[in-house]
């Protein structure tokens, strides 16, 4: 299988030949989408693979579900425990409107469990696995990537927990997309939303798994900070 490599100011990509042109177009689509358009359309986002929420969160509207998912996903992407995630979300009051449906802590815990579980690969191919969650760009990373992949006929699964990235997960997919920075910020402080503790998350095993995945024909699309 031939590969195509492109290195630019904002992305690096190594792709199987059958999806090279399509994903290049997808990157262009992503770069052309502004924050304003994403914000206005975010509530209309259609999930490519419907989630399987617990009964606790099944009563949420699509907009409420996305709000809960994105709030919890951001905390997970920073490497934070459930306890710290609950504290941060409570302090932000971002999900207070959901209190009429269920206790916010219970909703957060249910979503936290769902987003830290090993995902099930979709049946359709080609499949992409996207690791996202940059601390500078919390809420608007996913929608444009969803739209780009949907236009290209890619079944995409999003993960936020860096611990899920391993060889066993990658072997189920055709393309790895990474749009996140290289550090975790697990210990926020009252006057510092990130805290002083910084953890470089990529392990040697994960690095070897990605290299092996690409050597065996898998695609790798690194966006923004992931190109460093």
Residue 89 lies in a domain: yes
| pLDDT reading at 187 higher than 60 | yes
| pLDDT reading at 31 higher than 60 | no
Residue 55 lies in a domain: no
pLDDT digits (tens, 9 = 90+) for 65-97: 999 999 999 999 999 999 999 999 999 999 999
| pLDDT reading at 52 higher than 80 | no
Residue 56 lies in a domain: no
For 27, 141, 197, the CA distances from 148, given in Å and listed in that order, are 8, 12, 35
**Residue at which a domain ends, from 70, 99, 115:** 115
**CA gap 78, 104 in Å, rounded:** 20
pLDDT digits (tens, 9 = 90+) for 133-152: 877 766 678 999 999 999 99
Same structural domain, 80 and 185: no
Residue 130 lies in a domain: yes
Lowest mean pLDDT: which of 22-26, 91-95, 115-119?
22-26
Peptide bond preceding 138 in cis form (omega within 30 of 0): no
Q: Is the pTM of this model over 0.85?
A: no
Q: Tokens 């769902």 sit at which residue?
A: 114
CB-based contacts of 31, cutoff 8 Å, min separation 6 = 10
| pLDDT reading at 6 higher than 80 | no
pLDDT recorded at residue 192 = 87
Parent domain of 111 = 62-115
Tokens encoding 21: 């042109």
Q: Give the confidence band of 228 by pLDDT, cuts at 50, 70, 90.
A: low
| pLDDT reading at 131 higher than 60 | yes
Number of domains present in the structure of the chain = 2
Better-predicted residue by pLDDT, 192 or 8: 192
DSSP string, the chain: --EEEEE-SSEEEEEEGGGHHHHHHHHHHHHH--HHHHHHHGGGPPPSS-----TTTTTS-HHHHHHHHHHHHHHHHTT--HHHHHHHHHHHTTTGGGGGTS-HHHHHHHHHHHHTSPPPPPSSSSEEEEEE-BTTB-SSSHHHHHHHHHHTT-EEEEE--GGG-SHHHHTT-SEEEEES-SEE----BTTBSS-S--EE---HHHHHHHHHHHHTT-EEEEEGGGG-
The residues pairing with 12 across neighbouring beta strands, listed in sequence order, are 7, 222
Which of 45-49, 137-141, 154-158 has the largest mean confidence?
154-158
Same structural domain, 86 and 198: no
Lowest mean pLDDT: which of 12-21, 29-38, 99-108, 127-136?
29-38
Residue 54 lies in a domain: no
Q: Tokens 């358009």 sit at which residue?
A: 37
Same structural domain, 37 and 80: no
pLDDT recorded at residue 16 = 53
Better-predicted residue by pLDDT, 57 or 85: 85
Same structural domain, 80 and 138: no
| pLDDT reading at 124 higher than 80 | yes
Residue 184 lies in a domain: yes
């Amino acid at each position: 299988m031939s590969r195509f490599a492109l290195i630019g100011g904002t992305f690096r990509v190594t792709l199987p030949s059958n999806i090279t042109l399509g994903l290049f177009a997808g990157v262009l689509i992503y770069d052309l989408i502004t924050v304003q358009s994403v914000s206005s359309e975010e509530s209309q986002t259609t999930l490519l693979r419907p989630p399987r929420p617990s009964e606790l969160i099944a009563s949420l509207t699509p907009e409420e579900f996305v709000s809960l998912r994105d709030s919890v996903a951001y905390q997970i992407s920073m490497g934070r425990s459930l306890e710290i995630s609950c504290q941060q979300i409570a302090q932000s009051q971002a999900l207070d409107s959901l209190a009429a449906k269920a206790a916010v802590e219970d909703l957060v815990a249910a979503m936290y469990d769902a987003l830290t579980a090993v995902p099930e690969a979709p049946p359709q191919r080609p499949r992409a696995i996207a690791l996202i969650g940059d601390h500078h760009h919390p809420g608007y990373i996913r929608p444009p990537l969803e739209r780009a992949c949907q236009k290209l006929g890619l079944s995409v699964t999003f993960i936020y927990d860096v611990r899920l990235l391993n060889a066993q997960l990658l072997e189920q997919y055709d393309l790895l997309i990474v749009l996140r920075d290289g550090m975790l910020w697990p210990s926020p402080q009252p006057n510092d939303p990130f805290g002083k503790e910084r953890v470089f998350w990529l392990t040697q095993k994960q690095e070897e798994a990605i290299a092996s995945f690409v050597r065996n024909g898998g695609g790798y699309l690194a966006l923004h900070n992931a190109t460093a």
